Amino acid sequence: MAVDRDRVAAAVRELLEAIGEDPGRPGLKTTPERVADLYAEFFAGVGEDAGAPLAHTISVTRGPAPETLPSGAVMLRDIRFRSVCEHHLLPFAGRAHIAYLPGEQVVGLGALPRVVDVLAARPQVQERLGEQIADTIAGSLDTRGVLVVLDATHQCVTMRGGRQPDTSTVTIAARGDLAEPAARAEIIALLVGAAPHGAPHGAPHGPSHGAGA
């Protein structure tokens, strides 16, 4: 579903007037159109099928080693993402770490970041975003388990209210075999063991705050 740029621009003009500004002054004259273009990018995932990138799978058994099935997890770390908090319409951004236990079919690794991109390009809360990524992968692929760890910084925490600039939010979503505590702990240690912000190995870093707090 395409964003209605004209309606967004009109709403921004009204918003500027509501805060006491003159949307016709030189510095703001083209701001409504700029914001409309920005929103078209930030909210491009509204109405899109997040499972579409996972439609093309690759058979493991119909390859050079037909008797071989995956026995361990497939992991993709440090997927950059950004979204917009639906509580204040302020951005939050960070990294997604994804692991899944494949069955007979696997998916091209480039498909997983595209799932994240589609789901992040909507008004979101981080807790729901992680769950939606996990559900999309579990529902679209032949998996025995899925684990999604999101680590993000929220402008509604860092730039308003208490203004905690060093705070990040960590959320975990698990499905199938990876919802079992021991299996989940092992995979989390591998996924975030080289955490970019200097966290201890094997542990998510930073306190966890509710998105949009």
pLDDT score, position 136: 98
- Cα(114)–Cα(121) distance, rounded to whole angstroms? 11
Residue 180, C-beta contacts closer than 8 angstroms, at least 6 positions apart: none
- Mark whether 85 is an active-site residue: yes
The active-site residue out of 21, 33, 87, 209 is 87
Beta strand pairing status for 143-154 and 74-85? unpaired
- Cα(95)–Cα(17) distance, rounded to whole angstroms? 37
The active-site residue out of 97, 131, 132, 154 is 154
Angle of the 111-120 helix axis to the 126-140 helix axis, nearest 10 = 140
Q: Higher-confidence residue: 213 or 116?
A: 116
- Mark whether 126 is an active-site residue: yes
Helices (H) and strands (E) in the chain, counts: 6, 7
The active-site residue out of 33, 88, 127, 205 is 88
Chain mean position to CA 111: 13
Q: How many CB atoms lie within 10 A of CB 72?
A: 10
pLDDT digits (tens, 9 = 90+) for 16-56: 999 999 999 999 999 999 999 999 999 999 999 999 999 99
- Which residue type is seen at 177? D
pLDDT score, position 200: 37
pTM above 0.75, yes or no: yes
pLDDT digits (tens, 9 = 90+) for 154-212: 999 888 888 888 889 999 999 999 999 999 999 999 887 755 444 433 344 433 444 44
pLDDT digits (tens, 9 = 90+) for 47-90: 999 999 999 998 877 766 666 666 789 999 999 999 999 999 99
